[in-house]
Amino acid sequence: MTAPTIALFPEASFGAALNCVGIAQQLQRMGARPVFICHPGFTGVFAEYGFREYHLPDPPSEQSEDAEDYWQGFINTHLPHFDLDPLAQLPAYVAPTWEAIVDTAETAEPGLRAILDRIRPDAILLDNVIMFPAIANAGCPWVRIVSCAETEIPDPAVPPYLSGLAPEDIAACATFDRAYRAATASAHRRYNQLRARNGLTTLPDGQFLEPSPSLNLLLAPSAVRYDRNVPLHEDSFVFLEGCVREETRFDPPPFAVEEGPLIYMSFGSLGAIDTALTRRMLNVFAGMDARFLVNAGGFLEAYDAVPDNVSLASWFPQPSVVAQSALFIHHGGNNSFCEALYHGVPSLVMPYCWDGHDNAQRAEATGTGRRLDRADWDEDDLRYAILGLLNDHPMHARLSGISRQMQDTPGTHVAARAVLSLL
Amino acid sequence: MAEGRRNARQNHIALARQVLDAVLEHGLRAGDHLPEQRFSKVCGVSRTPIRAAFKLLESKEILEWREEEGFFLLVAEPDALAEAARGLEDMDGSLAARILSDRADRRIGDVQSVSGLVRRYNASRHMVLNALKILSRDGVLTQLPGRAWAFQPMFDSPKAIDDSFAMRLTLEPQAITAPGFALDPKRAGLMRGQMDELLRSREGAITAAGFLRVDTDFHGLIAECCRNRFLRGTLLTHHRLRQATQKDTAIPDFRLRQALEEHLDILDSLERGQFDLAADQMTLHLRRSRNRRSEAATRGFAPMMRGPRR
């Protein structure tokens, strides 16, 4: 019998991409043949882990020589929006992003259909926020991976997606929900037209991706799950205790002073564009008795006079680094949050957009970390937040228990078993 | 003479670090015997320097010497070995190494004055000048007219590493096809032994530092075997700079092994005298190694890549 081919299609973000690598590594161990469909900008990311890649065609705008100008425009336009609260971000950032996501779905459709015709997968794993008609029409089971936040799957007792609200804040939740539907209405109309053209049913307001009829994998460790009014069907919804991939061993670099706890900071590749924020934080780190590893992404050249207790790099094997850290300062990306929980490390979440708001709220509510506004802080706020988390012994005890539980039931194993059981 | 002693000591320290990497990569346990001959093969040197490195590790209580039996591992915990490796870094922490490390970590700027360095490192003027001379000899630093010193471009950003690959893609295949290329069979054999050893290690055991060392040694060997003096000189200087300033890059285990296999394929072709094939394999190897990660990515927008990438 030939190995079943499983096509994984993560969206063009490192969180989704590397989460899928964890599942693919386990699928491969269990005898399947995982392959990746990806944006050409992710060329090599999966090949380096030994997986075959199929690239979607370059979108026309990228073929021009001004890709850097395009991103400089993105930074100039959206960097100030990252300081807004979730409600104010709806018209400023969320609405244009949904327009861009719908553009992506439209542009990708012919190329994706051609790739799926070529691969003829036995199952498709979609880690994205939007449905691509080619996937629904591929003639094989497809699996939805919910890797942003549990709020992606609505419920009356779960706050709205991207709101950063607590479930008990009912009035604010209703206001946000209305504003979200209004902000996304134009993109949603266009998207439903795309679905109709490709023979799919339309979706209700505000929804761009339906649950899979076969299997839905939710990256939501039990420690941070919501109590739902309407429980999800156990036969098609499987919760994962994180999806941590295996990485190469990381040895921290030598520091001038080898004392103090090791603290890791990463705001993801997108968050790294805010070099002014990082520089401000480095000034505070310089005066603390701790060692800091800071992910500067593609912007290393923006830094000089780096403090002696800080080491910058453009990339870290994150799971290996988090495992050795006493604190993880991050943006609330679900992968980062889950990796912190998996290794029992407290999170200081400074969200700037999207699911970061929801995970920041969840970290506070479940006593697994705390939220700090990314714009509204002074040196003492940051210093005390860090010291408070380092010295919060009840939180450390709670996190140790969560870590043990997550490591006992690795999400990658559960996910791979559930996927193979579909075949 | 003093410089000769210093160099010998630094070689022993570097070798001791290499031994620690090999211990980690091979998953050795406390109490395991470390045969000199095997480590001499792994590290590509004779048994005399291996014995000196073992003695250094014995003084650090990592190994123990048993009469008529040899050296045995006392410590095998990865964290303890990493700590020991850091201890060796400290021993190696001559002023030159500290200055270089601080520049690579962007703690100090491109242009430095002697007096500024005297203040920063609380060292004598003589010590600073000596350190600058060492770095200058290695091609890392040049003296500007006047009293300032300037660092050469370093491997301190993704863009710098990409520029390096672009240059190597042009020159390294050329070095192989240039008239007179002659592989040094003895060194090639030692390299092959080191790479075979790494490939035999368990999954996830190859360290980034261990790979970088073997990688620069392999590409350095190719450069040294080139008979075009200018190609050879340019590439050797470049690989020395890589060795001195390139940070260990976290590369997934699969790609590390694939790259080592590619090195071995290139050696196979060179040993058969198939230089055109070896040059093509070098191009493929460098292209695969050059794969750059997106510099920023978010849903809905095409990932940001700076500069051409093909």
Contact list, A50 vs chain B (CB under 8 Å): 252, 254-255, 258
Note the pLDDT of residue A98: 94
State the average pLDDT over residues B142-167: 87
Q: Which residues of B touch A49 (CB under 8 A)?
A: 252, 254-255
d(CA A167, CA A127) in angstroms, rounded, equals 25
Interchain CB distance below 8 Å, B86 and A258: yes
In this complex, do A42 and B106 lie within 8 Å of one another by their Cβ atoms? no
| Phi and psi angles of residue A183, each rounded to the nearest 5 degrees, phi first | -65, -30
Cβ-defined contact of A312 to B303 (cutoff 8 Å):
no
- What pLDDT is attached to residue B24? 81
Please give the Cα distance from A396 to A52 (Å, whole number): 40
Which residue in A192, A225, A227, A218 sits closest to A207, CA to CA? Answer: A192
User: How would CATH label the architecture of B95-151?
Assistant: Orthogonal Bundle (1.10)
Chain B touched by A45 (CB under 8 Å): yes
- With beta carbons less than 8 A apart as the criterion, state whether A346 and A399 touch: yes
A311 lies within 8 A of chain B by CB: yes
Region A121-148: mean pLDDT is 96
Query: pLDDT tens-digit profile of A262-300?
Result: 999 999 888 999 999 999 999 999 999 999 999 998 888
**CB within 8 Å of B99: residues ≥ 6 apart:** B108, B112, B117, B121, B131, B132, B135
Q: Count other C-beta atoms under 10 Å from residue B309's C-beta.
A: 15
User: How far is B167 from chain A, CA to nearest CA, in Å?
Assistant: 20
Q: Give mean pLDDT, residues A164-178.
A: 96
pLDDT of A200 > 90? The answer is: yes
**What's the rounded mean pLDDT across residues B54-66?**
85
Q: List the single range of A253-262, A397-406, B32-41 with lowest mean pLDDT.
A: A253-262
The residue written with tokens 């040899």 in the block is: B70
What residues of A are in contact with residue B309 (Cβ under 8 Å)? 43
Q: Where are the domains of chain A?
A: 5-241+409-421, 262-408
Considering only the beta carbons, identify the residue of A129, A317, A354 that sits closest to B250: A317
What ipTM was estimated for this complex? 0.81
Q: Could you tell me if A154 lies within 8 Å of chain B, comparing CB atoms?
A: no
Average pLDDT value for chain B? 85
Q: Where do the DSSP E strands lie in A11-89? A: 33-38, 52-55
Q: Does A41 touch chain B (CB under 8 A)?
A: yes
Other beta carbons within 10 angstroms of residue A276's beta carbon come to 10
Of the options 1.20.120.530, 3.50.50.60, 1.20.1560.10, 1.10.8.100, the CATH number for the domain spanning B158-296: 1.20.120.530
pLDDT of residue A199 exceeding 50: yes
Nearest chain B residue (CA) to A68:
B306
Q: Which residues are bridge partners to A319 per DSSP? A: none
Inter-chain CB proximity A300 and B207 less than 8 Å: no
| Chain A residues touching residue B294 (CB < 8 angstroms) | 12, 14, 41-42, 269, 298
- A262-408 has the same fold as A5-241+409-421: yes
Alpha carbon distance, N-terminus to C-terminus of chain A? 13
pLDDT over 90, % of chain A:
80
- Higher-pLDDT residue of A145 and A245 is A145
Q: Say if A259 is an interface residue toward chain B (CB within 8 Å).
A: no
Q: By mean pLDDT, which of A50-59, A64-73, A312-321 is the weakest?
A: A64-73
- Closest Cβ opposite residue B156 in set A12, A67, A300: A300
Res B92 pLDDT > 80: no
Chain B touched by A250 (CB under 8 Å)? yes
Q: Any idea where the domains of chain B sit in the sequence?
A: 2-91, 95-151, 158-296
Phi, psi of B264 (to 5 degrees): -65, -40
Which stretch of DSSP H or E encloses residue A237? strand A237-240
Q: Provide the residue type at A161 as one letter.
A: Y
Closest C-alpha among A198, A274, A244, A238 to residue A341: A244
pLDDT for B16: 86
Contact in structure between A271 and A352 (CB atoms under 8 Å): yes
Q: Which two tokens stand for residue B25?
A: 């990569």
pLDDT(A87) > 90 = yes
Q: Are the CB atoms for B56 and B16 separated by under 8 Å? A: yes
Q: Which long-range contacts does B103-106 make (Cβ < 8 Å, 24+ apart)?
A: B103/B151, B103/B154, B103/B156, B103/B245, B104/B154, B104/B155, B104/B156, B104/B245, B104/B247, B105/A253, B105/A306, B105/A311, B105/A312, B106/A300, B106/A303, B106/A304, B106/A305, B106/A306, B106/A312, B106/B156
- CATH assignment of A262-408, among 3.40.190.10, 3.40.50.2000, 3.20.20.70, 3.40.50.10490: 3.40.50.2000
pLDDT reported for residue A269: 85
Token duo for residue A391: 């010295």
Contact A269/B296, CB-based, under 8 Å? yes
Please judge whether A251 and B109 are an interchain contact, meaning their C-beta atoms are less than 8 angstroms apart. Answer: no
Task: Give the best residue of A53, A70, A247, A251 to mutate against chain B (max B CB count within 10 A).
Answer: A251
Question: Given A12, A50, A312, which is nearest B303 (Cβ)?
Answer: A12
Amino acid at B53: A
Which of B138, B101, B149 has its CA nearest to residue B246? B101
Residue-wise pLDDT tens digits, A297-354: 888 889 999 999 999 988 888 888 999 999 999 999 999 999 999 999 999 999 999 9
A38: helix, strand or coil: strand
CB–CB of A32/A6 below 8 Å?
yes
Give domain A5-241+409-421's CATH superfamily. Glycogen Phosphorylase B; (3.40.50.2000)
Place B105 in a pLDDT band, splitting at 50, 70 and 90. confident
**A311 membership: H or E segment, kind and range:** strand A310-313
A168 Cα to chain B: minimum distance (Å): 29
CB pair distance less than 8 Å for B299 and A11: yes
Please tell me which residue of chain A has the smallest CA distance to B102.
Answer: A308
Q: How confident is the model at residue A134 (pLDDT cuts 50, 70, 90)?
A: very high
User: B2-91: what fold?
Assistant: Arc Repressor Mutant, subunit A (1.10.10)
Q: Check CB contact of A24 with chain B, cutoff 8 Å.
A: no
- Which residues of chain B make contact with A316, given a CB cutoff of 8 A? 250
What's the CA angle centered on A163, arms A157 and A167, to 5 degrees? 25
Bridging pattern class, strands B148-151 and B111-113: antiparallel
A398/chain B closest Cα distance in angstroms? 25
Contacts of A278 in chain B (CB under 8 A): none
Rounded Cα distance between A354 and B301, Å, is: 14
- Portion 75-134 of A in contact with B at CB < 8 A: 97-101, 103-104, 128-129
A44, A248, A250 ranked by CB distance to B291: nearest:
A44
Is B294 within 8 Å of A41 when comparing Cβ atoms?
yes
Place of tokens 């990658």: A412
Question: Which of B293, B306, B309, B310 to mutate: most A Cβ within 10 Å?
Answer: B293
Q: In the prediction, which pLDDT does A86 show?
A: 97
Residues of B in contact with A335 (CB under 8 A): none
> Which of B78, B106, B251 is the closest to A48 by Cβ?
B251
Please choose, from the candidates A281, A362, A412, A104, the residue with its C-alpha nearest in 3D space to the C-alpha of residue B297: A104
Whether residues A39 and B303 touch (CB distance < 8 A) is answered with yes
Confidence at residue A161, expressed as pLDDT on a 0 to 100 scale: 95
> How many Cβ contacts (< 8 angstroms) between chains A and B?
159
Q: What is the pLDDT of residues A393-423, one digit of tens each?
A: 999 999 999 999 999 999 999 999 999 999 9
Residue B103: φ, ψ to 5°: -70, -45
CA dihedral sign, ordered A329, A335, A341, A343: negative
